[in-house]
Structure 1
Amino acid sequence: MSTNSSSESNVVTIDVLKANELLSDGQYRYLDVRTEEEFKNGRVDVGDVLNVPSMIDTPEGRVKNPNFVEEVLQVSTKDDYLIVGCQGGGRSLNATIDLVDAGFKNVYNMGGGYLAWVENGLPVAVVTGDTQTGPLISQNSILQNQHSFSIMNTKSSLESQIITIDVLIANDLLHTGKYRYLDVRTEEEFKKGHVDFDGVLNIPNMFNTPEGRVKNPNFLEEVQQVCTKDDHLIVGCQSGVRSVSATVDLLDAGFKHAYNMGGGYLAWVQNGLPVTVVTGDTKTGSLSPASPLPMVNPSIVK
């Protein structure tokens, strides 16, 4: 997990529907940063797809690929248009940060990752030896509209057991009044701007310390002080990394209706959805910033 909030703010996160649109145009290439095994089990099937793992599985656990940027440069240039994706949206954010820091100019992070891609019924292929079979689509549809999503059934990791929805679906659900938004960013981040809905909660799952960002040991207890395990929660952070971990923790603790919001607050702002800023005890909003994020190509991003 990246602890550099300023680097995160330089990343443009798009949802899977926008990613599919851009890939279909032929200008963009898809960079899958999952492991080779994950890639072979199923991958995006649109246009030119690359597989360069940003993390490597070892007997000691998953560690960062020290040659990631160099391996990407073997198959692309810093001027190429890339959409970076992983399984659930965590690794791709960190990989995109590394590429932007290395001088890549046209890189987008795909919020929600391969799981969100599959659950929106977008084309995928499975690699068997040198043979690809596809397309495949998800079967367990939960919400039937233009941004449908489903329960994730792949058991390759804890990430795959969560439901990731995009910011447009999150906005729709929050409008029903049945869902509450749980913002797991720090209090400082929250005050600078947050989702503008009644009943928004702010309970950080990570704290900034002189040694770096560390997990809040009381996160679950603090959530249970203001929620029950039957409440319907949409969990969000700055860009979709911390919220994955927080949602996994909530599900493991017995929360029944916790959804992860892919892309986080940055994607929320990028889509022009309502936000508010806290100044002291005063809130100002709703706000729709004219230029909420640095854009690679503003004409083609929502």
Structure 2
Amino acid sequence: MRIAVTGQAGQVVLAMLERASAGDVVIPLGRPGFDLERLETIAPTIAASHPDIVVNAAAFTAVDVAESEAETAMLINGQAAGEVARASAALGVPVIQISTDYVFNGALDRPYREDDTVGPISAYGRSKLAGEVAVVAATPDHAILRTAWVYSPFGKNFVRTMLRLAETRNEIGVVADQRGCPTNALDIADAVFTVARNLLARPQDGRLRGVFHMSAQGEAVWADVAEAIFAQRAAMGAAPVVVKRIATRDYPTPATRPANSRLDCTKLATIHGVTLPEWRGSLSSCLTRLMTEQTG
């Protein structure tokens, strides 16, 4: 299976490169030849990769920066996503679009289902929703996978930030009133490979197409995640760090975050046979790897 994946240094593409099985070829598409800000580069580069399927994993992910650079975020996450899907349709191959919980406003008191009303409350969320709409308009042969709270051993993410801060602090304030599903990009990669194989194996099966939620099992607030990180770090011999639980209002940011980022992933499990692991086990594996790399 030849998979063209947009992006070169993002968490999902790096995870896919690492988790590819024998016989799978992951082709990262990135600058300078492929540039989501230069729409004219998208279709030729995708065509030149001769893919069996395309995964649009690249995105403008700087949530706070998007508030002041909304046009750029909309170009990359919205218009370019549609162009990727059109290029895939022109080649007659499916496209998988990686999306986000930020398409919701976070006001529900239960995990979000795929058919719940969207209503993003940030520029980033609006741009990602525009991307979903563009993909749907471009081709019926798509799977939109919404995920949440992504971390990994690579790149910039909450887990790596907490480990970095713990090197110089013994107490860290962490938000305790935003609830979601911390999701390891390596688990996302495994899920994407399964969904891709399903789409290719059953090209006429409409049930496999559409919108699906894809996040780790269980739920947590950010402070829970930080406490788990510091507990394992201490168990591996590092100095203890105390988590001070704070409210969102105590840590103001340019972009408003959803208070509820929980996703109901029943549809993905039922239709694609994909269930991501429980978040604590995946977090522990990631931490063991990062801590070992730091000390080794």
Whether the TM-score (by the shorter chain) exceeds 0.5 is: no
More helix by share: 2
Higher relative contact order (CA 8 A, sep 6+): 2
TM-score by length of 1: 0.28
